[in-house]
Amino acid sequence: MTKYMKSSHFLHEARERFRFLRDANFTGPEEGDYWLSYGSGTIGVEVHFDDRDGRVITVIRATVGDRNPRASLHCLYVRAGLGVAQDVKEIARSARMVAQVLESQAAGLRQLLPIIEGPAGPEVMLACHGR
């Protein structure tokens, strides 16, 4: 049973906010129930909505040598020196709030991508792996 919103509403809002990834040569989105993902060779982005908790979670995947670290947008944003974790919102317990939270996460990811794709990317990804 849906607690906060239907998956279709989340997916619509997430596609709108993360559309910039298509312009950055990412493929996708692949979609499932309350999640979508994009990929670009060595970097992947997963956006999930936890309907039990009303929380949006964005996870970044990368290939670093022979490792495949996964890390939360929050950890990467802070580790890269872009700001504090509170800059990237995650609580979305209404259909109205999900658009604001997704926009916050998309804005954080726009700032983070040049770092992840640059020379500091491997260190930042490995430092946040599993967090």
Closest CA to 127 of 53, 43, 44, 70: 70
The pLDDT value recorded for residue 69 is: 97
Instruction: Give tens-digit pLDDT for 72-102.
Output: 999 999 999 999 999 999 999 998 899 999 9
- Quote the pTM value: 0.94
Arithmetic mean of pLDDT, 20-38: 96
The pLDDT value recorded for residue 1 is: 62
Domain residue ranges in the chain: 7-128
Query: What does the alpha-carbon distance between residue 5 and residue 9 come to, in Å, rounded to a whole number?
Result: 7
| Sheet with strand 55-62: strands edge to edge | 27-32, 35-40, 43-50, 55-62, 70-72
Q: Quick one: DSSP state of residue 80?
A: T
